[in-house]
Amino acid sequence: PPGAALKVDVAVIGAGQAGLSAAYHLQTLGQRRFVVLDAGSSPGGAWPFRWPGLTLSTVNRIHDLPGLAFSDTLGPDETQVQASVTVPHYFEVYERTFDLPVRRPVRVTRVTSHGERLKVETDRGDFSARGIISATGTWEAPFIPDIPGADRFKGRQLHTRDYRTAGEFTGQHVIVVGGGISAVQLLDEVSRVATTTWVTRREPVFREGPFGDDAGRAAVALVEDRVRRGLPPESVVSVTGLPMTPAIRAMQARGALQRLPMFSEITEIGVRWPDGTEVGADVILWCTGFRSALDHLAPLGLREASGGVQMTGRLATQVARDPRIHLVGYGPSASTIGANRAGRAAATELLTFLGLR
C-alpha cells in the first residue's frame, strides 16, 4: 500500500567508504534483503565536497575498498588529480561492479524503535529494518567552538567544509583556527596569497619520520578505548600528531607556522586574547573539525551522559545500548582503512546477531 514502510533485513545508512564496505560484506555473506540509503545525489560519500586543492598527493592515503583496487580505476599518472573527482569515480565503479543496492538521493531523517523492528524514516518514504549499519560520516556535522562575540564579527567566518580556494582571500588578513591536518593544509594555501595568524588550542606536535603501523595501531587503540567506555571519540590528530612533510618545512621557512594560543573573544573587527592583545582580521577560517553525524539516531537515545555512544563488539562497531545498531566510520574506524575493517566486522556481527548467517 502507498506509504507503507518497505521491509528489509538491514538498512545501511550512508554510502561512503564505511557504508560501501559494509554493503560489500553483507552481499558477500549472502544477505539479499538490504538497502543502502545515501543522501548524496551521486556516488562518492563526502569526497565530492572536498576542496579542489586536495589531490591524491596531499591526502594521507585512500585505502582500497574490499574487492577492487582504487588504482584500477585511475588513469595513468593521476596523483595530481583532485581527490574530489577520482574518489567519487572509484566509488561509482565500485557500486556498479558489485551491483550494490544503493538508493539516492535518500536522506534518513529519523530512526525509531518499534518492538523488534526499526523504522527508518527518510525524505523518500520509510523503511522497516531488523538491523542498521549507520555510516553517515562527519562531513555533515562541522564543529565550531563557541567563542564569545562570534555573532558580532563583521568579517567573514567559514569552516573547512565551506573552503574552496585561497584566491578568495587574496590580500586579506585571515585567522586560521585549528591544529589538524586540514588546518595546516589550508594555512599553507592561504598564507601564499594573504597574511595569516594561526591559532591552536594546544601546541602543535610535529612528528618526524613516517607514521608506522605500530604507532597507527596505538593511536586507534586509544580512541577505541574511549568509545568502549562511552566517551566521545577524540580527533585522530590529538593522538597522532602532525606528520612533518616538505610542505610543512617550507611553511616554517617562510614563517607561516608561527602559532598563537586560542583567543578568548571575537570582536567586530578581529579577535582578542585574555591579556588584551587584539588582532584585526577580514576572515576567520575555522578548521576545527567535525563531529559524527548521528542526529538521525537521536530518537533511539543511544548517547551516554558524556555525549558519547558506548560501543562494543570485536572492533567496537556495535552500540552497547542497542545491539541491532552498528556505527561504522565512527571513532576508531574514522579513517578509510578503519572504515573498511569496521564494515566487515559490522556486517558479520549484525547478521549473526539477527540469526541471518
Sorted by sequence, the CB contacts under 8 Å of residue 300 that are 6+ apart come out as 111, 112, 113, 321, 322, 325
In eight-state DSSP terms, residue 303 is B
Residues 6+ away with beta carbon under 8 Å from 121: 108, 109, 110, 111, 112
Report, in Å, the least distance between residue 137 CB and ligand FAD: 2
In the complex with ligand FAD, which residue's Cβ is closer, 108 or 177?
Answer: 108
Smallest separation, CB 44 to ligand FAD (Å) = 7
**Could you give phi then psi for residue 292, rounded to 5 degrees?**
-75, 140
CB distance 41 to 33 below 8 Å = no
CB of 73 or CB of 267, closer to ligand FAD: 73
Bridging pattern class, strands 117-122 and 108-114: antiparallel
Q: How far is the CB of 340 from ligand FAD (least distance, A)?
A: 9
Considering beta carbons, is residue 178 or 270 the nearer one to ligand FAD? 178
> What is the nearest approach in angstroms of ligand FAD to the Cβ of residue 76?
21
Distance in Å, CB of 104 to ligand FAD, minimum: 8
Residue 238 DSSP SS3: helix
Residue (16 or 270) nearer to ligand FAD, CB: 16
List the one residue out of 331, 297, 288 whose CA is nearest residue 142.
288
- Shortest Cβ distance from residue 182 to ligand FAD (Å)? 5
Pick 82 or 271: Cβ nearer ligand FAD? 82
Residue 168 or 265 with smaller CB distance to ligand FAD:
168
State which residue, 38 or 263, has the beta carbon closest to ligand FAD: 38
- Tell me which residues touch ligand FAD (CB under 6 A): 13-19, 37-40, 45-46, 50, 54, 59-62, 107-108, 135-137, 139-140, 182, 293, 296, 329, 334-337, 339
Count Cβ atoms within 10 A of the Cβ of residue 326 and give its class: 0-12 exposed, 13-18 middle, 19 or more buried: buried
Shortest CB 208 distance to ligand FAD, Å:
20
Residue 19 or 308 with smaller CB distance to ligand FAD = 19
Q: Count Cα neighbours of 304 within 13 Å in the Cβ-side half-sphere.
A: 16
Instruction: Tell me the C-alpha distance between 148 and 265, whole Å.
Output: 5
The least CB distance from residue 209 to ligand FAD, in Å, is 19
DSSP 82-137: BHHHHHHHHHHHHHHHTT--EE-S--EEEEEEETTEEEEEEBTB-EEESEEEE---
Q: How far apart are CA 278 and CA 285, in angstroms?
A: 17
Rounded Cα distance, 332 and 335, in Å: 8
